[in-house]
Structure 1
């Protein structure tokens, strides 16, 4: 079964080093909590709010060992008034035997407010 695993984080500054660092941290926790293997991943999609443009957060995927051939893409979120600024969202589509309720979606920093129903 293909499942989507969601995650999101925020940065304090539109700076490449912080964008990559926070994205790596988010991905590492998503991988650990969901026991994701690169060969099981169909694709990874990142979105960013319009105030993030110093680098592609998708570069963070290349920091993970074994993820060289996983397809990845970045996009811009739609600019909804009042939405959370400086936010990076990610969707990992993965082949898994997990039930939907077993998937652990990960939210860091200010992005925790996006899904308060998923707080652990």
Structure 2
């Protein structure tokens, strides 16, 4: 078994608590579905947001999900590069898995699909 990183990102339209929490939940659910992950397989989750999203901590959405109460979570700000994608939430899920790096499915939703078009499913 190896520890693998599963990446994902999603954008929101507005800097408000409900849309940020909903988008975080949606992104995590899709990462879990695509990779067959269960909370006990998770080492930790790093959540980052762009500086224009400060209405809430996105990790709050994960903390209240059944089975995720003990998963270590950390929120941080993305590097504020001029001209970069705005209103974006990113997840890096560290998971114990038998999958190879090539088998991991990274998930980019909404406007975040521009970040990694090579990994975005059509």
TM-score normalised over the length of structure 2: 0.96
Q: 3-state DSSP class of the match of 1:117?
A: coil
- Alignment: residue pair count: 120
Say what the alpha-carbon RMSD is for the aligned residues.
0.7
Alpha-carbon distance in 2 for matches of 1:102, 1:56: 30
Aligned counterpart, 1:83? 84
Alpha-carbon distance in 2 for matches of 1:107, 1:25: 11
Aligned counterpart, 1:104? 105
Q: 3-state DSSP class of the match of 1:8?
A: strand
Question: Residue deviations 1:3-61, cap 9 Å, x none?
Answer: 00000000000000000001100000101110111111110000000000000010111
Alpha-carbon distance in 1 for matches of 2:91, 2:120: 17
Aligned counterpart, 1:28? 29
Which deviates more from structure 2 when the two are superposed, residues 26-35 or residues 57-66? 57-66
Mark the runs of 5 or more structure 1 residues left unpaired by the alignment. none
Alpha-carbon distance in 2 for matches of 1:45, 1:104: 17
Runs of 4+ in 1 over 4 A off after TM superposition: none
Check the 8 A contact 1:24/1:63 in 2, yes or no. Answer: no
In the TM superposition, residue 64 of structure 1 has moved relative to its aligned partner by 2.3
Which one has the bigger helix percentage? 1
Q: How does 1:34-53 map to 2 (within 5 A)?
A: 34-53=35-54
